[in-house]
Amino acid sequence: MEIVDRAFVLSVKKLTGNRQLFVTYTEKEGKKTFIYFRRKTQKKIVQPFHLLEITYKPSVKKEILTLQKIAWQNALSTIFFHPEKSMQAVFLSEILTQTIIPESNAELFYFLEQSTLYLSENEDNKFYIDFLIFFTKYLGINIYSHPLEDYPPSFVQYVKSLSTYQVQKINRTRKKTYLDCLLRYYQEQTGMDLKIKSLPVIQAFFEGY
């Protein structure tokens, strides 16, 4: 029996030969890891923040399953044609892979789906900040439910004023402050020591904005 599901790609790792390792968050099964054999004729490259329709055979004995086939749900995504968008996607994928809940959650999948569509359609160089604020709701550490007494007033005010994604200019000093606050909040609330290789890159990349 084959399962057909939709998957939000969290990370992609190249293995030997034409094999790739996908860590995904699927609509029906939650977080799942797959091996995919990429065909030589396949021109499209799977990357984080892609939405896929996947087909695979389930197994109770294997944690890592093999994908039978994939199809792009957001084939026209512009994320990886724009450095500003792709850098944000890579940065967020590192955090998502470490923190996302393993169980399936329809609201969380919808949030991921709408977020990648928004990023594809808009040039928003603070998307990664807004995403991290909204994502706390799905980790059980909803930032809107915490007093944030020990955080800078400008950050608290920004969080309270944010209800949906919106393109808005924020100077680089505030972006740095907000990101520092969010990473501190995530580590305090989850107890995780997040390893984010792309953090210095994204900080330098958006320094001039």
pLDDT (0 to 100) of residue 60:
75
**pLDDT per position as a tens digit, 137-191:** 999 999 999 999 999 999 999 999 999 998 888 888 899 999 999 999 999 999 9
pLDDT at 116 over 90: yes
Same structural domain, 136 and 61: no
pLDDT value, residue 207: 55
Higher-confidence residue: 73 or 102?
A: 102
What is residue 209's predicted lDDT score, i.e. its pLDDT? 45
Q: Which two tokens stand for residue 51?
A: 């939405």
> The tokens of 162 are what?
């944010």
Domain of 25 in residue numbering reads as 3-72
Same domain, 155 and 105: yes
Other residues' Cβ atoms within 10 Å of the Cβ of residue 31: 18
Residue at which a domain ends, from 34, 50, 72: 72
The stretch 92-104 carries a mean pLDDT of 95
160: three-class secondary structure by DSSP? helix
Checking if the pLDDT of 39 tops 80, the result is: no
User: Are residues 107 and 171 both part of a single domain?
Assistant: yes
For residues 117 and 68, membership in a common domain is answered with no
Question: Is residue 134 located within the same domain as residue 201?
Answer: yes
Nearest C-alpha neighbor of 33 from the set 100, 88, 79: 100
| DSSP class per residue in 53-120 | EEEE---SS-SEEEEEEEEESSTT--GGGSHHHHHHHHHHHHHHHHHS-SS--HHHHHHHHHHHHHHH
Is the pTM for the entire model greater than 0.85?
yes
Together in a domain, 95 and 52? no
**The pLDDT value given to residue 204:** 84
- How many distinct structural domains can be found in the chain? 2
